[in-house]
Structure 1
């Protein structure tokens, strides 16, 4: 009798197990997209827009107060912005040192506005990318001691503790478009709130006073710089577009595998997919750096830098960031003319040339072919 009851119990347990068995199915309904992880010091930028029920007189009064604090609207270097000449340089100047090899200067924020061909003096045609430096101002300088104390992540570079941080903003806008917390970041510098904020690791000797304007003459023609930005986002793509695979044959018995990647592993004891295998996935939308770009031309009227090459990451009108190159063979060996940055003089404001060309670039305003008169030829003979 006991044996029969035990058998009945086992049958009931086995039926219970079979009824509660779940099989895991590995699939994703949507492909993973790159996630934006905000830092701990992040301040909300944009605020919700709603009808504040202001009269026309009140709106005019608010605009008048904004223009009285940050300056009237103006078009500077071909860009619509605010005239900040009244409100800058409110803090005490930061003491800068002398240049020595290994000093790291600040960078610039620019927009990629297109690709333009140029010709060298030997007749070779090269493609250049146009980067417009728009409304760059120093917002804040953080010393190495304060910057390292606020960091939570482990160090990624050698001697990282010797660098400070310089916060740079670009494209000044009406402060009514931003939140109170975001506008508070610009209170000490006297600069109007900007659309774009970035930080650059700098040496203490290259510190710059908050409120200082940065121009493309921070670099000079012939310098090599690194350009980084966000690449074009292509979405979920296969191996042929993402990695450049050849694909399978089109005929001779091939069915439904024309654009597939083929084998992704091996059998046996080590049969698995190795990490880093090139497979379909999300393409683009990542931070990429183009190193060692040479500056061939600088336009001082519209603050445009002509960089050799057309592989700058991002699409047209995308934001990119420039700084001195980190390539060992192209490091700066002599002191730059603008250290820690370029400070314009009132006397030379009108004397600056509109275009500054590299010595190897052909200027189309110069003659390309010269002919001598027959009388001059006969005199030489």
Structure 2
């Protein structure tokens, strides 16, 4: 059965494995999540499961969403995500998905929103090298240099790497190992770093490369 869960990044720490080696891990508060809706080919054109995470105050929920949650007889949730499982029939509206859906040694892909860095130049954003600081290349050695040719094609190519907004985008880190699962406290320790700040929402799902 395909598995996925929504969680909140708590932060990084380190634990020791059975051989006494230090393992850097990121702790994720994973669930409990509730299935808020099932989509089918007959009604929606595709099979999917909608999952909610994090309790929300009823007065902060819009009227359409309030009706949506009432229809599924579930409490309002802050975050809703949709998963296209191949076996959606294994899930029903109201089912709880807890941290123990994953086990030690599982491989997961973790998706989150990276930290926003604001406006950044090409060196910080794209790892460009500096220009020469002599022979008239100034006054700024950190700018992007030439943006393209002159008469042909007489424009800047789409997708050219330039200065601009850095971070605050969807990032997926693949094939991370689940080191420890604490089902009682809804915690999952994943080896290595994952995207986003502490407190950010992340999604753990089965690794496509496992």
**Global fold match (TM > 0.5):** yes
From the superposition, tell whether residues 251 and 119 of structure 1 become closer, same or farther in structure 2 (CA, over 3 Å): farther
1:240 aligned counterpart, secondary structure:
helix
- Tell me the secondary structure at the aligned position of residue 197 of structure 2: coil
Find 2:65's aligned residue among 182, 188, 201: 182
Say whether 1:140 aligns with 2:37: yes
Work out the CA distance in 1 between the residues paired with 2:71 and 2:154. Answer: 60
Summarize the alignment of residues 256-275 of structure 1 with structure 2, pairs less than 5 Å apart. Answer: 256-267=139-150, 269-270=152-153, 272-275=155-158
CA contact (8 A) 2:25 2:192 kept: yes
- TM-aligned CA deviation for residue 144 of structure 1: 2.7
The CA deviation at 1:273 is 2.9
Question: Matches of 1:278 and 1:116 in 2, distance apart?
Answer: 35
1:130 equivalent to 2:12? Answer: no
RMSD: 2.2
TM-score by length of 2: 0.89
Contact 1:138 1:212 in 2 (8 A): yes
Structure 2: distance between partners of 1:183 and 1:245 = 49
Structure 2 unmatched ranges of 5 or more: none
Confirm or deny: 8 A CA contact 1:106 1:206 kept in the other structure. Answer: no
1:324 equivalenced with 2:206 (yes/no)? yes
- Equivalent residue for 1:277, pick from 160, 163, 170: 160
Residues 141 and 209 in structure 1, CA contact (< 8 A), matched pair in contact too: yes
* Counterpart Cα distance in 2 of 1:188 and 1:268: 62
Measured against aligned partners, the alpha-carbon deviations of 1:25-46 in whole angstroms (never above 9, x if no partner) come to xxxxxxxxxxxxxxxxxxxxxx
Q: TM-score, normalised by structure 1?
A: 0.51
Q: How far off is 1:237 after superposition?
A: 1.2
Determine the C-alpha separation between the residues in 2 that align with 1:298 and 1:173: 26
- Bigger strand fraction: 2
Which of structures 1 and 2 has the bigger CA Rg? 1
Matched residue of 1:188: which SS?
helix
Give ranges in structure 1 of 5+ residues lacking alignment: 1-98, 100-104, 149-160, 331-381
User: Conserved in 1, the CA contact under 8 Å of 2:49 and 2:88?
Assistant: no
Structure 2: how far apart are the matches of 1:203 and 1:234?
Answer: 37
Q: Report the number of matched residues.
A: 210
CA–CA separation in structure 2 for the residues paired with 1:166 and 1:142: 6
